[in-house]
Amino acid sequence: MIGRARAGPAGATLPAMIWIGTSGYNYPEWKGTFYPPDLAAARMLPYYAARFGTVEINYTFYRLPTEAIVGKWAAAVPPHFRFTLKAPKRITHDRRLRECGDLLQAFCGAAGTLGPQLAVLLFQLGPSFKCDLPLFDRFLDDLPVGARAAFEYRHASWLSDEVYERLRRRNLTLCIADTEKQSTPLEATADYGYFRLRDEGYTPDAIERWAEVIAGQQAGWKDTYVYFKHEEAGKGPAFAMQLDAALRARGLPTATAGAPDASAPG
């Protein structure tokens, strides 16, 4: 089993925490389903953060973040809220991990200003990007030691023991991605877990099955991050709330426990 529970005062064991949210939050099409119809865009993040404990930021995939932008996000949420930042496509898709040390350092530097509010750095590789172990080794050499990062591999050649072992040596996690077409193998490579649940048609039974999967990993993970897909119907927040309820019904701690009901008027 990878990792161990956190130690509290006098050696007491603190339970693992499960952080549930969505991929992005700034979606006008969610008005009327998740957001109140008249909610201003500037109020979306505070409204979201009052209901969920984490968000996966997609903005950083398209634009390299600056410390000023990251600081603005942090100022809009409670201190316990956590951000996952998706690595810029200039790193993962344009340069395909090659000769991107300067970009990687700039990205990690800006992300690092979040301090304890930084959850994970997500590196999503393109579906045509085949495994290249020497290249991956060079990339990992440039990744700051101690960084929490999740790797989402969309080409099957990356799903191998050689890759998993490299992730374990650095305590980096394999992103468990579930789509309508395929699912990543459930392979623990770090003392924290990362799920991207991308299907737009999860049934209550499917949410319960994912709750069982996530619950089964908690003995070995200090933290677990789960993000549902953005789609126009606003199902992501509803799925997140359903999963939160299913995990709490199993006696597991979630970062959204005790938050206001997202269906309540804002």
| pLDDT tens readout for residues 135-149 | 999 999 999 999 999
- pLDDT value at residue 15: 55
Distances (CA, A) of 29 to 2, 32, 35, 56, 188: 40, 8, 9, 18, 35
User: Does residue 256 surpass a pLDDT of 80?
Assistant: no
- pLDDT value at residue 134: 98
Q: What is the mean pLDDT of the chain?
A: 90
205: Cβ–Cβ under 8 A, 6 or more apart, which residues?
none
Q: What is the CA radius of gyration of the chain?
A: 18
- pLDDT value at residue 13: 41
> Both tokens of residue 31?
């008005």
- pLDDT value at residue 64: 97
User: Does residue 82 surpass a pLDDT of 90?
Assistant: yes
User: Does residue 232 surpass a pLDDT of 80?
Assistant: no
Mean pLDDT computed over 155-164: 98
Amino acid in the structure at residue 106: A
- pLDDT value at residue 257: 43
Mean pLDDT computed over 96-103: 97
Residues 90 and 103 sit within 8 Å (Cβ to Cβ):
yes
User: Does residue 260 surpass a pLDDT of 90?
Assistant: no
Q: Is the whole-model pTM more than 0.85? A: yes
Separation of alpha carbons 197 and 57, rounded Å: 15
Separation of alpha carbons 221 and 46, rounded Å: 28
- Render pLDDT for 21-41 as a digit per residue (tens, 0 to 9): 999 999 999 999 999 999 999
Between 122 and 4, the higher pLDDT residue: 122
User: Does residue 111 surpass a pLDDT of 90?
Assistant: yes
SS3 197: strand
- pLDDT value at residue 182: 82
User: Does residue 184 surpass a pLDDT of 70?
Assistant: yes
SS3 241: helix
User: Does residue 11 surpass a pLDDT of 70?
Assistant: no
Domain borders along the chain are 6-249
Between 262 and 82, the higher pLDDT residue: 82
Tell me the percentage of the chain whose pLDDT exceeds 90.
85
Q: Tokens 């979201």 correspond to what residue?
A: 48
Task: Write down the CATH superfamily of domain 6-249.
Answer: Protein of unknown function UPF0759 (3.20.20.410)
> Both tokens of residue 187?
């392979």
Q: Tokens 């737009």 correspond to what residue?
A: 200
pLDDT band at 234 (very low <50, low <70, confident <90, very high): confident
